[in-house]
Amino acid sequence: MNIIVASPRSKKTICELTVDSSSTVLELKKQFSKQKKLGVERQRFTFEHPTKGMVALTNDKETLSNYGVTSGTTIYFKDLGMQISWTLVFLAEYAGPLFVYPIFYYFSKQIYGLESQKTFVQDLALLCYSLHYIKRILETIFVHRFSKATMPISNLFKNCIYYWGCTSMVSYFVNHPLYTPPATLNTYIGFGLWAFGEVMNLVCHIQLRNLRPAGSNVRRIPRGLLFEFVSCPNYTVEILAWFGFSIMTQTLTSYIFTLLGAGQMYIWACGKHRNYKKEFTGKDGTELYPRNRKIIVPFLL
Q: Which of 95-104, 180-189, 216-225 has the lowest mean pLDDT?
A: 216-225
C-alpha R_g of the chain = 24
Which is more confidently placed, 52 or 164? Answer: 164
pTM of the shown model: 0.84
For residue 246, pLDDT over 80 is answered with yes
Output phi, psi for 282, to 5 deg: -65, 165
Mean pLDDT across 252-260 = 97
Residue type, 81: G
In this prediction, residue 132 has a pLDDT band, given cuts at 50, 70 and 90, of: very high
d(CA 146, CA 223): 19
Report for 48-52, 152-156, 180-184: range of highest mean pLDDT: 180-184
Q: Which domains, and CATH codes, for the chain? A: 2-80 (3.10.20.90), 84-279 (no CATH)
In this prediction, residue 116 has a pLDDT band, given cuts at 50, 70 and 90, of: confident
Contact 234, 209 (CB under 8 A): no
Output phi, psi for 5, to 5 deg: -105, 125
In this prediction, residue 140 has a pLDDT band, given cuts at 50, 70 and 90, of: very high
Contact 5, 14 (CB under 8 A): yes
Mean pLDDT across 31-49 = 87
Say what the pLDDT of residue 20 is: 86
Q: Which of 49-58, 99-108, 189-198, 241-250 has the lowest mean pLDDT?
A: 49-58
Output phi, psi for 169, to 5 deg: -60, -45
Neighbours of 141 (CB within 10 A): 11
Which is more confidently placed, 53 or 262? Answer: 262
Which is nearest to 183 in space by CA: 245, 126, 249, 256?
Answer: 249
